[in-house]
Amino acid sequence: MSNVITEQLTQAGQQIEHDSFAIVDREAGAHNYTPAQWQVVRRMIHATADFEFNGLTEFHEHAINAALQAISKGAPIVADVEMICVGLSKPRLEHFGMRSYQYISNGDVIAEAKARNTTRAVQAMGKAHRMGHINNGIVAVGNAPTALLEVVRMIKEENVKPALIVGMPVGFVSAAESKELTSTLQDVPWIVTRGRKGGSTLVVAALHALLSLAEAQQR
């Protein structure tokens, strides 16, 4: 029995997606991922047509299990930018009782960033923590390396503990370094893309893959 909530809504759409996944599987060649990890990576490849994510994507050993547990509990998703929230399927989130949050455009966040001469992304993550969304939540970063660096700082200095970090910021300033630092975390599971490549599209694809795995687990 196939998934219902996390599938395309029409039979034609489902067929196109399944055919695309088959092409990815065929052309990607060998990989060292577990079957569950590969579902995440191949959806990222499907979303970008970039086969380099077969190899650039790395997982904490407990990332998949942590994701499934968090989703089953309706964990909040804290995004660094609105693009991730817009890209996530609301019906899929609602099926699990989940909501996504982003604060980067809030007036108080902007004012605080100016006052402290820091980035909106840093202050947005601080607000998300004060709102109670980061502890036991899923942190999803696809654009702002400073957001990822701030979460890692909070984990190390303030005992903050997300259920999972999906850290895939894109860019040339601190992007690779922020993901490298995230990958040193031992007690908080993570999924990252090495190097400069990343983006909100990848984060959305990874989260949709995790939701699909969670729905399959419900059967």
Six-digit token pair at 64?
Answer: 């998949």
Catalytic (active-site) positions: 46
Print the SS3 string covering the chain. Answer: CCCCCCCCCCHHHHHHHHHHHHHHHHHHCCCCCCHHHHHHHHHHHHHHCCCCHHHHEEECCCHHHHHHHHHHCCCCEEECCHHHHHHCCHHHHHHCCCCEECCCCCHHHHHHHHHHCCCHHHHHHHHHHHCCCCCCCEEEECCCHHHHHHHHHHHHHHCCCCCEEEECCCCCCCHHHHHHHHCCCCCCCEEEECCCCCCHHHHHHHHHHHHHHHHHHHC
Identify the sign of the CA torsion 6, 57, 190, 187. positive
Instruction: Return the residue matching tokens 């909070």.
Output: 154
